[in-house]
A and B are shown apart, each in its own frame.
Chain A
Amino acid sequence: MRHAAAVLTLVSLVACGRDEAPAPPSSTSSPTLKVGLLTPGSINDGGWNAIAWEGLQRIRNEMGAEVAHQEAKTPAEFDEGFRSFGARGFDLAFGHGFEFQDAALAAGKLYPKTVFITTSGTSVAPNVSPMVFELEKATYLCGIIAARESKTGKAGVIGGIRLPSIESTFTAFKAGAQSVDPKFDVREVFTGNFDDVGAAKLATLSLANAGADFIFHQANEAGRGVFQACSERKIRCFGSNKDQSGLAPDVIVASAVLDVPRAFVHMANLVRTKTFEPGVQYLGMQEGIVALVWNERLKPTVSPETVAEVERVEKAIRAGTIAVPRGF
């Protein structure tokens, strides 16, 4: 029995790459685009690494690109993976995390014809750039909704670990709320991790006790605790990163949605059309990667004026007439 299980495990490992259909032929006559991806963990994690893998699959399916992936856990492997992609003449190589920056810079020097993109980061070279997602643009809108709809004049934000990217979304949330009411009170709590559902729930309850009647979270898995507490206290909240309305349809008003796979496709398009310009690649609403998605069930409970105002600001952000502040 155990042997059978072990064999199954191994076979499934080996079989991993085989459940894809053969790549569709390239629609253009130009040589096939070659795209590589390094993830710091298993693509079966249902989270950070899985969305990058999905992005790579979309590049393959939508653009007919030849793709390759490696799970690279150590800097030695980052280096080796990037160099291997460069040596095999890849057009584009992604490193999914800020920790890939040093390896990208080193490989970028050796292989100038390959573009190296890291997911977040600051390092830039002629063929090396980070892509930075502007979830802030959507959280700014969440802040506007909270401030306009709140009866108490208070809202709370709950974070997992105090990371700059997370603090930045809170900054934008606060800015959005205070663009409506400069005295609007936004309280911040960090639980210290991304998986303690109970801690997130307790933090939410304490914010509710302090009078907050809107909660925004950036706690990943622990976010479920936020939704539980909001359901109990009948206060409203926002989903983050993806459309989370289904998790608590009675309390989630809207979600700040981030379409990471699309960011990968976007970068691949820039490289294919030779329109890639080095520099930090801020990817947000214009690129269709960040959006505010309403919970259609609760949307009617929101005042029509607020809905209209959100639409107006969103247009202004897309047009660039409203600048959303970032934490960094």
Chain B
Amino acid sequence: MTRLLIGIGAAALAIAVLAMAAALAGHSPADVVGVLFDGALGSPLAIRGTILKSIPLLLTGLCVVIAFRAGVWNIGAEGQFIVGAIAAWMGSPYGTIASMLAAAVAGAVWSSIATAMRLWRNAPEVLTTILLNFIAVHILGWVVNGPLRETSARYPQSDPAASALPQLAEIHAGSLISIATAIAAWWLLYRTTEGLRLRATGLNPSAARHAGINVPAQIARAMAISGAIAGVAGGVELLGVTHRLFERLAVGYGYSGIAVALLAGLHPLGSIASALFFGAFVTGAGELQRTSGISAAIATFGQAVVILAVVAAGALLTSRKPADA
């Protein structure tokens, strides 16, 4: 309940800050907010844009939710997204299902590298996952400039993938995949022993260990699940939207996933609303730029405001909780 209020408050704050800045810059705040809403939800094209952009955000958000819930800072959704997309492209000749499976496995393997480094050398995931992002970006750069370059070999991009996700009303099936994943993640966390142990591991690893939970194995599984979801995000984006691999494929979906997860209070179902909010924000910001010339970078700024507001609210709440009454 509190988390819901914090989330709504943070979202409202982002819009309010934007309107205030608009006023300072001489735009009418009402107009700016109006265009933002209109551009996000005002027409079928706008709604489609909002939904399409929410899909990868929801999946990377869920990736972050699962890892954070197990107490692991997986900042690597970006890299897992990229390797997922590459694997999906390579799996696409065998159909969409094989392609999605390949994406999930690739993402899981990529995140598990970080786990392996944690277990063997105690390397913190915050660092390893970020570094793995850079490696993934470079692998992507290499494959589109090298082995997977389009057959005409003209531009650094791959040929279109051999299969694509089915579409309904020009919205690809990734929408269903992402919502199903959100429900599955909720079910996993709150309705299975796996989820119970995962959450206990995140909240109090010591108590989890003493209660007979194999904490390292639990963390390893959570990271693999988390990476698999980010991999699927990459696969869905490839087979649903981009169809080709190219260097700027990911553009921060993984990092935006952190904002989605935080705004959702790390709740899988809350992530649906949270991803839609950010998807709408980005889409509306695009319209704002097209019509008013206001830089679309305000969408990034809005994300930052949301993250700061949620983190600040969280810190405020925990500081007021009794340690031992």
A–B direct touch, CB within 8 Å, in complex? yes
Q: Smallest CB-CB separation from A40: which chain B residue?
A: B248
Residues of B within 8 A of A83 (CB): 45
Inter-chain contact A161/B155, CB cutoff 8 Å: no
Residues of B within 8 A of A84 (CB): 45, 286-287, 290
Inter-chain contact A81/B286, CB cutoff 8 Å: yes
Question: Can you show 14 pairs from A to B with CB atoms below 8 A apart?
Answer: A9-B301, A10-B298, A11-B24, A68-B291, A69-B289, A70-B289, A73-B251, A74-B53, A75-B243, A80-B49, A81-B290, A84-B286, A102-B160, A328-B154
What's the nearest-Cβ distance from chain B to residue A3, in Å?
11
Tell me, in angstroms, the Cα distance from A121 to B152 when the chains sit together: 11
Whether a CB of chain A sits under 8 angstroms from the CB of B283 is yes
Inter-chain contact B17/A10, CB cutoff 8 Å: yes
Residues of B within 8 A of A74 (CB): 53, 241-242, 251
Whether a CB of chain B sits under 8 angstroms from the CB of A1 is no
B258-302 interface mask toward A, CB cutoff 8 Å, 1 = contact, 0 = none?
000000000000000000000000110011011111111110010
What's the nearest-Cβ distance from chain B to residue A192, in Å?
10
Size category of the A interface is: 35 or more
Interface residues of B in 84-106 (CB under 8 A from A): none
Inter-chain contact B52/A76, CB cutoff 8 Å: yes
Tell me, in angstroms, the Cα distance from A83 to B44 when the chains sit together: 12
Whether a CB of chain A sits under 8 angstroms from the CB of B246 is yes
Tell me, in angstroms, the Cα distance from A313 to B131 when the chains sit together: 52
Residues of A within 8 A of B17 (CB): 10
> Which residues of B line the A interface, CB within 8 A?
17-18, 21-22, 24-27, 32, 45, 48-49, 52-53, 145, 152-157, 160, 241-244, 246, 248, 251, 282-283, 286-287, 289-298, 301
Instruction: Check A80/B292 contact, CB under 8 A, given A10-B298, A122-B152, A163-B156.
Output: no
Instruction: Check A76/B291 contact, CB under 8 A, given A11-B21, A14-B298, A18-B25.
Output: no
**Cβ 8 A contact of A76, one of B32, B53, B152, B287:** B53
Inter-chain contact A76/B49, CB cutoff 8 Å: yes
**Cβ 8 A contact of B292, one of A10, A17, A81, A121:** A17
What's the nearest-Cβ distance from chain B to residue A198, in Å?
19
Inter-chain contact A98/B157, CB cutoff 8 Å: yes
Inter-chain contact A80/B286, CB cutoff 8 Å: yes
Other contacts beyond A73-B251, A83-B45, A102-B244: 15, CB < 8 A:
A10-B21, A10-B301, A14-B27, A14-B294, A15-B26, A17-B289, A17-B294, A18-B293, A70-B290, A71-B289, A75-B243, A98-B154, A98-B157, A164-B155, A328-B154
Inter-chain contact A7/B295, CB cutoff 8 Å: no
Inter-chain contact B52/A70, CB cutoff 8 Å: no
Scoring B22, B52, B296, B301 by chain A CB atoms within 10 A of each residue's CB, the highest score goes to B296
Tell me, in angstroms, the Cα distance from A87 to B145 when the chains sit together: 35
Whether a CB of chain B sits under 8 angstroms from the CB of A151 is no
Tell me, in angstroms, the Cα distance from A72 to B53 when the chains sit together: 12
What's the nearest-Cβ distance from chain B to residue A17, in Å?
2
Residues of B within 8 A of A164 (CB): 153-155
Tell me, in angstroms, the Cα distance from A7 to B248 when the chains sit together: 29
Tell me, in angstroms, the Cα distance from A68 to B293 when the chains sit together: 7
Whether a CB of chain B sits under 8 angstroms from the CB of A13 is yes
Interface residues of A in 85-140 (CB under 8 A from B): 85, 87, 98-99, 102, 120-122
Tell me, in angstroms, the Cα distance from A80 to B279 when the chains sit together: 13
Q: 3 closest Cβ contacts across the A-B interface?
A: A17-B293, A10-B21, A15-B25
Instruction: Check A75/B283 contact, CB under 8 A, given A10-B298, A68-B290, A122-B154.
Output: no
Inter-chain contact B243/A102, CB cutoff 8 Å: yes
Q: Smallest CB-CB separation from B141: which chain A residue?
A: A161
Inter-chain contact A76/B21, CB cutoff 8 Å: no
Tell me, in angstroms, the Cα distance from A10 to B20 when the chains sit together: 10
Tell me, in angstroms, the Cα distance from A1 to B17 when the chains sit together: 17
Tell me, in angstroms, the Cα distance from A77 to B287 when the chains sit together: 10
Inter-chain contact B145/A80, CB cutoff 8 Å: no
**Cβ 8 A contact of A69, one of B243, B251, B290:** B290
Inter-chain contact B286/A69, CB cutoff 8 Å: no
Whether a CB of chain B sits under 8 angstroms from the CB of A16 is yes
Residues of B within 8 A of A328 (CB): 154
Scoring A10, A18, A68, A83 by chain B CB atoms within 10 A of each residue's CB, the highest score goes to A10
Tell me, in angstroms, the Cα distance from A74 to B234 when the chains sit together: 13
Scoring A13, A14, A120, A164 by chain B CB atoms within 10 A of each residue's CB, the highest score goes to A14
Tell me, in angstroms, the Cα distance from A36 to B45 when the chains sit together: 17
Instruction: Check A71/B45 contact, CB under 8 A, given A14-B27, A76-B241, A164-B153.
Output: no
Tell me, in angstroms, the Cα distance from A228 to B241 when the chains sit together: 45
Residues of A within 8 A of B25 (CB): 11, 14-15, 18
What's the nearest-Cβ distance from chain A to residue B46, in Å?
8
What's the nearest-Cβ distance from chain A to residue B55, in Å?
9
Inter-chain contact B298/A99, CB cutoff 8 Å: no
What's the nearest-Cβ distance from chain A to residue B285, in Å?
9
Whether a CB of chain B sits under 8 angstroms from the CB of A306 is no
Whether a CB of chain B sits under 8 angstroms from the CB of A42 is yes
What's the nearest-Cβ distance from chain A to residue B298, in Å?
5
Scoring A17, A36, A163 by chain B CB atoms within 10 A of each residue's CB, the highest score goes to A17
Instruction: Check A75/B241 contact, CB under 8 A, given A68-B291, A164-B155.
Output: yes
